Structure 1
Amino acid sequence: MRLLQSLSRGLEALDYIASRSEPARLTDIAEALGVDKSNASHLMKTLVACGYALQDAARRYQPTDKIAQPARSEHSLAEIIAAKEAWRPALETLVAQTGECAHMAVLVRDRVWYIDKVDSPLPLKVDHPIGALSPLHCTALGKAFLAFGGAEAEGQLTSYTPKTLTTRKSLDEEIGRTRARGYAVDDEEFAQGIRCVARPVYDAGGRMIAAIGVSGPSVRVDDARLAELGRIITSVSVVQPEKDPIE
């Protein structure tokens, strides 16, 4: 499982820097993990973004005190992996029905973390790499967590494109519309030329565990197509329909 392998490597990197008496160079981390510097860099950037590691002025890494704090997630790693595996067929169905890229993400502090995807078969397509982190306020997956998962967009609402919602009032209004329609929309708010829709995924107890989304280039996804993608993603088959509030 790609998620399990990625998390395992990340924990190995965290163990390594925590065991040292001084900050570690990227070269040392890569050598200790038996990976190339590119992979080691990606792992460390994720740990820094999630608040588990710091990078100093000399570009060396050390752990933060967060590793001594209990995790705040309501779901275990096993539950997240199970959800990922269970919803993989739904992602494949979405790609078959729409021709666009489908992806799945979970909440990591104040960002969404991509844990699975199925690529579009078309030459012009959107690519969200597994392991990437994205903000909540300007992505469809992030807005799904804001609207249905109890997440909060903390701090300044950074502008990424001219369409990014950067005021609390505009974001709150959009979250209200998201709840009313049942799915979230990213209208070129994170990256120009890309439009997305996303919906929540719930566990057996009715708690949001992840979000799934569909993304496509704006040259193919006009307003009518965006609404159609929203209808498709909210009607996709679920693993436990009797427990999924969307149904």
Structure 2
Amino acid sequence: MAAGFVKSAQRTLEVLEYFAATHHPAGVGEIARELGYPQSSTSVLLGDLARLGYLEQDGMRRYRPTLRVMLLGGWLQDRLIGDGSLLRRMEQLRARHQVTVLIGMQAGARVRYILTLRRPGADATMRAGMMRPIGRAAVGKALLMLRTDTEAQRILRRANAEEPEARRVDVADVLEDIGASRRRGWTESGGAVVPGQNVLAMPLPAMAGQPPMAIGLGALGEEVERQRPALVAALRETCAALRHDADPAAGGTGGTQRRRR
């Protein structure tokens, strides 16, 4: 019975993350197809969430989140980010540079995207909740920038143990890359996750009561190359603004960046 409860809780969160990524109403069939659920159980789950007030159904029998979902995390936004909304900053980055914006945190030996805003025409399978190899994904390497070399090495070895042999990374090469990334302040995937795609990433300033997180900006490789200076500047500007918000001396909510070498 406990496993059933865990699966139900996981699916509930994945449904909410699906709406966070797509920003549009969806019917039972679409949600079941995109998330890989049986249509019958998806219908029951969506109906239950609607009865609880987290979703509502429009005249075309499509579901969408209600303000109750937003209120669940409103206190966190106020506490951690003050007047500067992280989501609003992400939206601005996507609109200004036509890139996919990613926020991720470490999940064992992988990185989990907790927020995704896709650029126009981006792969529709990319959504919040998905996992990527920590030593290949730019957001994962940005998180490793916050670790000591010894810690990063241990995580990378664990990641290799969980990957097929063909997908394993050269630990020494990744550590060298992370060292160079620390010195310049940002890192990139260079197509190591999805050929032809590139993501530039940087650790986010520490937020009180939250695990370390990193932000990434991604697009086709040639687009990233063309915009590289502007994208790096945008990452630095975003992190500086969030750091200002978290600085009590600047009127923020507190919290300091902890970077370990």
TM-score (norm 1): 0.59
- After TM superposition, give the deviation of residue 186 of structure 1 in Å: 0.8
Q: How does 1:1-247 map to 2 (within 5 A)?
A: 9-10=9-10, 31=41, 34-35=44-45, 82=77, 86-121=85-120, 123=121, 125-126=122-123, 128-149=126-147, 152-153=155-156, 154-156=158-160, 166-205=169-208, 209-222=212-225, 224-236=226-238, 237-238=241-242, 240-242=245-247, 243=255, 245=257
- After TM superposition, give the deviation of residue 8 of structure 1 in Å: 7.2
Q: 1:241 to 1:183 in 2, by over 3 A?
A: farther
Counterpart residue identity of residue 101, structure 2: A
Counterpart residue identity of residue 119, structure 1: R
Aligned match of 2:251: none
Cα distance between partner residues in 2 of 1:217 and 1:234: 21
Q: Which secondary structure state, in structure 2, belongs to the residue aligned with residue 219 of structure 1?
A: helix
Q: 1:214 to 1:126 in 2, by over 3 A?
A: farther
The Cα offsets for residues 135-165 of structure 1, whole Å up to 9 and x where unpaired, read as 100011100111125652224285899xx88
- After TM superposition, give the deviation of residue 238 of structure 1 in Å: 1.4
Counterpart residue identity of residue 234, structure 2: I
Q: 1:90 to 1:32 in 2, by over 3 A?
A: closer
- After TM superposition, give the deviation of residue 87 of structure 1 in Å: 1.4
Q: 1:136 to 1:93 in 2, by over 3 A?
A: same
| Higher helix fraction (1 or 2) | 2
- After TM superposition, give the deviation of residue 216 of structure 1 in Å: 0.3
Structure 1 gap segments, 5+ residues each = 1-5, 14-25, 37-76
- After TM superposition, give the deviation of residue 231 of structure 1 in Å: 2.2
The Cα offsets for residues 178-211 of structure 1, whole Å up to 9 and x where unpaired, read as 1111112110111101000111123345975311
For CA contacts below 8 A with separation 6 or more, give which structure has more relative contact order.
2
Aligned match of 1:51: none
Cα distance between partner residues in 2 of 1:188 and 1:225: 16
Aligned match of 2:54: none
Cα distance between partner residues in 2 of 1:188 and 1:81: 34
Q: 1:160 to 1:185 in 2, by over 3 A?
A: farther
Q: 1:118 to 1:177 in 2, by over 3 A?
A: same
- After TM superposition, give the deviation of residue 168 of structure 1 in Å: 1.6
Cα RMSD after superposing both structures: 4.1
Counterpart residue identity of residue 9, structure 2: R
Identity, in percent, stands at 18
- After TM superposition, give the deviation of residue 225 of structure 1 in Å: 2.5
Q: 1:225 to 1:11 in 2, by over 3 A?
A: closer
Counterpart residue identity of residue 160, structure 2: Q
